[in-house]
Amino acid sequence: MREDVIGRSRVIDTPELEAYYAQLGRFEAGALWTVANDIEPWFPRPASVPVIWRYRDLRPLVRQAPALVKPEDAGRRVVMLVNPKRREISAAVGLLYTGLQVMNAGECASAHKHAASALRFIMEGSGAFTVVDGERMTLGARDFVLTPVGTWHEHGVDESGTQCIWQDGLDIPLVNALDANFFTVHPNLQQPVTQPIDSSYAAYSRGFLQPAFLRQNWKKPYSPLLKYPWEPTYEALCAASRCHEGSPYDGILMEYVNPITGGAVMPTIGASMQLLPPGLRTRAHRHTGSFVYQVAKGRGCAVIDGCRYDFEEKDIFALPSWSIHEFHNASDTDDLCLFSFNDLPVMRALALYQEQAYAENGGHQPITASA
Amino acid sequence: MREDVIGRSRVIDTPELEAYYAQLGRFEAGALWTVANDIEPWFPRPASVPVIWRYRDLRPLVRQAPALVKPEDAGRRVVMLVNPKRREISAAVGLLYTGLQVMNAGECASAHKHAASALRFIMEGSGAFTVVDGERMTLGARDFVLTPVGTWHEHGVDESGTQCIWQDGLDIPLVNALDANFFTVHPNLQQPVTQPIDSSYAAYSRGFLQPAFLRQNWKKPYSPLLKYPWEPTYEALCAASRCHEGSPYDGILMEYVNPITGGAVMPTIGASMQLLPPGLRTRAHRHTGSFVYQVAKGRGCAVIDGCRYDFEEKDIFALPSWSIHEFHNASDTDDLCLFSFNDLPVMRALALYQEQAYAENGGHQPITASA
Amino acid sequence: MREDVIGRSRVIDTPELEAYYAQLGRFEAGALWTVANDIEPWFPRPASVPVIWRYRDLRPLVRQAPALVKPEDAGRRVVMLVNPKRREISAAVGLLYTGLQVMNAGECASAHKHAASALRFIMEGSGAFTVVDGERMTLGARDFVLTPVGTWHEHGVDESGTQCIWQDGLDIPLVNALDANFFTVHPNLQQPVTQPIDSSYAAYSRGFLQPAFLRQNWKKPYSPLLKYPWEPTYEALCAASRCHEGSPYDGILMEYVNPITGGAVMPTIGASMQLLPPGLRTRAHRHTGSFVYQVAKGRGCAVIDGCRYDFEEKDIFALPSWSIHEFHNASDTDDLCLFSFNDLPVMRALALYQEQAYAENGGHQPITASA
Amino acid sequence: MREDVIGRSRVIDTPELEAYYAQLGRFEAGALWTVANDIEPWFPRPASVPVIWRYRDLRPLVRQAPALVKPEDAGRRVVMLVNPKRREISAAVGLLYTGLQVMNAGECASAHKHAASALRFIMEGSGAFTVVDGERMTLGARDFVLTPVGTWHEHGVDESGTQCIWQDGLDIPLVNALDANFFTVHPNLQQPVTQPIDSSYAAYSRGFLQPAFLRQNWKKPYSPLLKYPWEPTYEALCAASRCHEGSPYDGILMEYVNPITGGAVMPTIGASMQLLPPGLRTRAHRHTGSFVYQVAKGRGCAVIDGCRYDFEEKDIFALPSWSIHEFHNASDTDDLCLFSFNDLPVMRALALYQEQAYAENGGHQPITASA
């Protein structure tokens, strides 16, 4: 790609150069100037595009899956949500994967571990549970649960429960891009439960008060708190919203944190829940980092790069890096809550985070399309 | 102090040596071997002794103070608790200071700041408040509040309140020992309240969920959460005690933490609340670091270096560094809760923390005295 | 990819399933089990393959480039070294880019900055210089120089110098994979030199002795020391080799570090120089992380996944993640020195580093091929 | 101490109050307002005073010691330098201890370890050595060596050497103030040498290049580099002074650092060497933290709180916290080099560091006395 700007590649190819390129090719080499402008863009140009997956479309298909495949054959029975421009790496956006997993009462997947880090956000059903390194956690709607890098984990639904659907989020495309993925099936297929149910939440239920007897031995690179239930989360958001205006771009945005460090829950994936009070319209901005959102409560819309995406509860949408975005709570009476997970811990650890307010037009994008 | 052990000073003074010492003295010098065994003990030999201050003794005296001095004359109207061996530095134990402050309804102290860090633990009364850097906090019994290094702060009691008594804890002796104390009276004597009441608790009420819009700007070396109320603290202790046995030496010991870092609330002072279920007797151990305890709930006893200290609610006691100690909840029906503050952050930052279990006698000290 | 193992995907496609997949496709969704075994491999399966680029092959082509393109048209006149399996992202291995840049005496490239981080390792010629954020550095053979994320930088050769060739190393593919690249041409095309020549090396020439007057203001996420000259590097390697055996896998491997933190020179790229004494054959191992090596001094061979790669001075070779590798200094009299750069800081920051010794066959791979 | 300022204690004692104080005293309590102004000063009021110990005074006395006491009786044969106001804690200034140790050829002290951290700065003689955790280090004039917290260490002089004198620096008063000192004599009185001589310097001789094979296993809270020789130190100072002006208050001040962290060499003690070019007069400032200086090279003077202290090579002087100070290189031809050690790591870890330029009088204090 030739750009006629000083400091950029603007070589005009000639037969002589073509011959030179051919010679370079013989030795697994090439001329940088033939690709420089492409691989060094002026600003991020993600392959990923914004996408919205509406739950009313997907739910019937997800609920159909149990009739089609058995969990023991599928490994995990998941409808994955794939960015149309990242099909080759099964990414929802950037290097993040997401999907909707469904299990019937009494089903249980086999235990495994992997170098990828995972999270779950429960969407519907009762009786779901996850076991992580010997701790069994009971899960209800909008609970958020971690299965971090290298942990033995498995999911299931109690015999007494109902069909459950949850969103999985993983960094599989990232870990694959870094050539660092490992996968192991548990030798016994199910791991023993060695601790009281929900014991990490029992220990860290207040976050600012921490069990010295557990903390002092924690050496892992992720949060010792594995389940973040919805009820205290929503209470905390409401309490904060009574005292604080929050961010102009995100309202009352609260990060789920690793209480030991105050940092992200896992080294590669951050997660947040944000509340927009009734009627709030945030200002637009953009930043590096890829995000997958789920509408946890309420309805409204996002405007991403000028396109409007109306959404309802349980809809999922993807925000590519450096896309201009803003949110609107369409209700005058109800809160809008957005759950999201992202690769911000990667951006920050690698010093790649950049942010820019959208200054034009009073901070709101002109809407040029809707999806 | 001569010790007849190889590797220790065992010089026997002679007239010749005495003359030599006198010569050294002329140049502000001395012979190390005359003091080496004293200043390099085999193990810590704190000047401080264990002390218990019983609230039934002190309460009448504390309540007498308002009739004797006005807050504007006293600066702060405080009965300080002084270790009999550390009177010269006004320390309760080690390099920690503590005292009981009393205020009548409608009284308010003048605002000031200092390099020393302070905390308060509310003992009785209603309507107490503390203002820290523009945030007013309402305080009830057993609430724990910070006024860290360099913050403008002041205390008072509402007109509609009752006489209030609380425990102050500070690192004044430490900061003085390090020749680093500063004190400034607020130019207006009272500072303006610039934020909603209890706004830091509203923002961090769940600890594991943190306001991104506040956190990203926090550069101070102490917790942005300034008030840790009793009710959620006790709930968290009870929740933990249902799932965990806790430490054999301390039961369900939970540290109050700085949510931003997961570390101590202030750089020089740590604080904890621990719960001992009915009847629990902990095992004895010792460690470096000085502690001031207040019995927040229940009754029982501590055994410190073989001496038994029975205590009731609101009693305060001091544990010197390296003293062997164990606790006993004397009730078969009620929890025992101990609030404490300590200099562990100093011990840890300076790599001076050491710990040792008491192995003899089944882990329990023979009791040779009581106080 | 079906694997008939419990815990893996082993669904057999049916017409009913095919129809289901088509329906999912309509909503940008898919069935995880159709790709699960591919995207969750048992262990890393890099697309990259080991490659060796021999300087005797490339040097004539590199020296031909100045006659073919002008630096002001090329941006940078670089022959890039491209992994045959990563051509689409111009990577040498993993997410690392490398190339050979050539400049004639008196040439100078325009100044620019980018979110990608870069390094240079000088191969031949005299009079080369790099300017980074106002500091001009003079460069000789085997000097190592940084142009980190976000720094203004430019390269040139003095009028009095000779044609210079150096190796560039960048994380362009990584930063692009993370959708976080930015590029800016300096408004004046050349930046002013505002500090004494080689001033960062003058300040940090001993590493363990650091200028308090500079350190205290350094907030950047990379090393303030920008040039690491060859001579003291080789001296340090020799000194270490006289006292230490080093790693069984890497000999005397020394990391270039950021003196402020003791960590990697840049957040995304680490770099090392290692010395193998005459005749040394290291043991084989594998680990996550991608490496680009240049033979800085001496000759020998690497065995990578059973294939032998003989190399001479200035040859460059690529080691993919999780490839089993070992080195051999083929000389009985001369040291072998290998310069390398890698993505270990990424692996470590993201908790993805894994390492495994090759235990079979006395720790040495059977050689099954050579390249 | 009564101060008639609002916000300070200004209670006037009455018979009634005296009676009240007596009652408080019965319960190990007191009234804060009787001491508040003393223990909360407006700014640091160190007990320590500035002192200079001139080597011409002390050297004859130090050299006399070997005739008076045997090393095996003294433990260590040290003339300690004691602040006239801190005799009770054997401190030179603040909570720092220093002394001059002397050993004859062929003498060796017994090995021991302690929780206090120590350093040595060699003053004269040849053949001195120190052994730390199995590493023997050879020491010459102006070499700086660490014996950190908890390390087995011992000192001696080779049979072939000459009488040696060095300065010891320790944090004994600090560790005692924190009730955290321990002392152990090595069971064999001498420890075995298990590593090559000077092996830590061989490994870290360039600081910015670090041995991966050693670093990865280093978990201790202090520097793995134990000896910092004079020659490379002086070279580094000279190199820096050719490119940098340094600090207006301290000239070319370089900190000795722990290469693993880039921080202080030990958790409680920092150390620096600073160079003042011929004729340089620094500007005055003050800061918290206590310092012990030794004139490593050259002559000049310090002005501390208005008093002038002329000094020559090997003179030692003490700077109390918050004292205003400035330096002057009295020579027009020779460098002045000052070695110093300090408690800045403590000040910084505990958030107690404060600094203030002296703005009056063109930045130089009027001289009102000399010592």
Residue of D nearest to B17 (CA): D68
Token pair 């870094």 is found at: A178
Give the best residue of B5, B10, B32, B305 to mutate against chain D (max D CB count within 10 A). Answer: B32
Structure tokens at C48: 């990259």
A29 vs C321: CB contact, 8 Å cut-off? Answer: no
Tell me the per-residue pLDDT of B258-279, one tens digit each, with 9 for 90 and over. 999 999 999 999 999 999 999 9
C209 vs D203: CB contact, 8 Å cut-off? Answer: no
| ipTM greater than cut 0.85 | yes
Coil, strand or helix at D123:
strand
Average pLDDT over residues A188-197: 94
Residue of A nearest to C69 (CA): A11
Tell me the per-residue pLDDT of A46-68, one tens digit each, with 9 for 90 and over. 999 999 999 999 999 999 999 99
- Binned at pLDDT 50, 70 and 90, residue A5 comes out as confident
**Distance separating alpha carbons of residues C317 and C314, to the nearest angstrom:** 10
- Binned at pLDDT 50, 70 and 90, residue D1 comes out as low
- Cβ contacts of C246 on chain D, cutoff 8 Å: 211, 213
Give C182→chain A minimum CA distance, Å.
Answer: 4
Neighbors of chain A with 3 or more C-beta pairs under 8 Å: B, C
List Cα–Cα distances, C185 to B323, C131, D240, in angstroms: 66, 14, 32
A256 vs B208: CB contact, 8 Å cut-off? Answer: yes
Of D243, D247, D272, the CB nearest to C202: D243
Instruction: With an 8 Å CB cutoff and a minimum of 3 pairs, decide whether chains D and C touch.
Output: yes
Tell me the per-residue pLDDT of D187-205, one tens digit each, with 9 for 90 and over. 998 999 999 999 999 999 9
Residue C75: predicted pLDDT: 85
Residue C2: predicted pLDDT: 77
- Cβ contacts of A8 on chain C, cutoff 8 Å: 75, 185
D257 vs C259: CB contact, 8 Å cut-off? Answer: yes
Enumerate the domain spans of chain D.
1-42, 51-368
Of B32, B84, B175, the CB nearest to D352: B175
B243 vs A198: CB contact, 8 Å cut-off? Answer: yes
Is the pTM higher than 0.90? The answer reads yes
B173 vs D39: CB contact, 8 Å cut-off? Answer: yes
- Cβ contacts of D321 on chain B, cutoff 8 Å: 178-180
Torsion angles phi and psi, residue B233, rounded to 5: -65, -45
B82 vs D30: CB contact, 8 Å cut-off? Answer: yes
Residue B108: predicted pLDDT: 92
Structure tokens at D253: 């001040």
- Cβ contacts of B111 on chain D, cutoff 8 Å: 7
Residue A72: predicted pLDDT: 83
- Cβ contacts of B239 on chain A, cutoff 8 Å: 201-202, 205
Tell me the per-residue pLDDT of B322-342, one tens digit each, with 9 for 90 and over. 999 999 999 999 999 999 999
Residue of A nearest to B209 (CA): A256
- Binned at pLDDT 50, 70 and 90, residue B139 comes out as very high
Tell me the per-residue pLDDT of D55-71, one tens digit each, with 9 for 90 and over. 999 999 999 999 999 98
- Cβ contacts of D174 on chain B, cutoff 8 Å: 350
D42 vs B183: CB contact, 8 Å cut-off? Answer: yes
List Cα–Cα distances, D261 to A176, B349, D117, D228, in angstroms: 31, 14, 18, 16
Residues whose CB is less than 8 angstroms from the CB of residue D280 and which lie 6 or more positions away in sequence, other chains included: D251, D327, D328, D329, D336
Average pLDDT over residues D89-104: 98
B44 vs D351: CB contact, 8 Å cut-off? Answer: no
Residue D72: predicted pLDDT: 83
DSSP A92: S
Give the best residue of A206, A225, A238 to mutate against chain B (max B CB count within 10 A). Answer: A206
| CB-count burial class (<10 Å; 0-12, 13-18, 19+) for B217 | exposed
Neighbors of chain D with 3 or more C-beta pairs under 8 Å: B, C
DSSP lists the bridge partners of residue B258 as: B263
- Cβ contacts of B31 on chain D, cutoff 8 Å: 65, 69, 74, 78-80
**Distance separating alpha carbons of residues B213 and A20, to the nearest angstrom:** 54
Token pair 């650091």 is found at: C210
pLDDT tops 90 at residue B246: yes
- Cβ contacts of A236 on chain B, cutoff 8 Å: 205-206, 209
B206 vs A203: CB contact, 8 Å cut-off? Answer: no
Of A199, A203, A256, the CB nearest to B209: A256
Class of B51-368 in CATH: mainly beta
- Cβ contacts of B208 on chain A, cutoff 8 Å: 204, 206-207, 223, 225, 228, 256-257, 259
- Counting one residue from chain A and one from chain B, the pairs whose CB atoms sit within 8 A come to 158
Sign of CA dihedral D206, D208, D210, D215: positive
Coil, strand or helix at A292:
strand
Of D44, D48, D75, the CB nearest to B33: D75
What b/e sequence results for B241-267 when a residue is b if at least 16 CB atoms lie within 10 Å of its CB, and e otherwise? bebbebbebbbbbbbbbbbbbbbbbbb
- Binned at pLDDT 50, 70 and 90, residue C5 comes out as confident
Q: Which of B197-201, C73-77, C325-329, D169-173 has the lowest mean pLDDT?
A: C73-77
Q: What percent of chain A has pLDDT over 70?
A: 100
Of B42, B68, B352, the CB nearest to D20: B68
Q: Which of A353-367, C68-82, D156-170 has the lowest mean pLDDT?
A: C68-82
Q: What percent of chain D has pLDDT over 90?
A: 95
List Cα–Cα distances, C353 to A245, B152, C96, in angstroms: 41, 46, 17
Furthest-apart CA pair in chain D: how many Å? 75
Tell me the per-residue pLDDT of D304-319, one tens digit each, with 9 for 90 and over. 999 999 999 999 999 9
Coil, strand or helix at C240:
helix
Residue A2: predicted pLDDT: 78
- Binned at pLDDT 50, 70 and 90, residue D4 comes out as confident
Residue B41: predicted pLDDT: 96
- Cβ contacts of A320 on chain C, cutoff 8 Å: 179
Tell me the per-residue pLDDT of A83-98, one tens digit each, with 9 for 90 and over. 999 999 999 999 999 9
- Binned at pLDDT 50, 70 and 90, residue A1 comes out as low
B351, D151 Cβ separation under 8 angstroms? no
Give C213→chain D minimum CA distance, Å.
Answer: 5
Neighbors of chain B with 3 or more C-beta pairs under 8 Å: A, D
Chain Cα centroid distance, residue C1? 33
C206 vs D232: CB contact, 8 Å cut-off? Answer: yes
- Cβ contacts of A232 on chain B, cutoff 8 Å: 206, 209
Tell me the per-residue pLDDT of C226-279, one tens digit each, with 9 for 90 and over. 999 999 999 999 999 999 999 999 999 999 999 999 999 999 999 999 999 999
Residue D7: predicted pLDDT: 86
When comparing pLDDT for D177 and B75, which is higher? D177
Q: What percent of chain B has pLDDT over 70?
A: 100
Coil, strand or helix at A101:
strand
Averaged confidence pLDDT in chain D:
97
Of B7, B79, B347, the CB nearest to D180: B347
Residues whose CB is less than 8 angstroms from the CB of residue C15 and which lie 6 or more positions away in sequence, other chains included: none
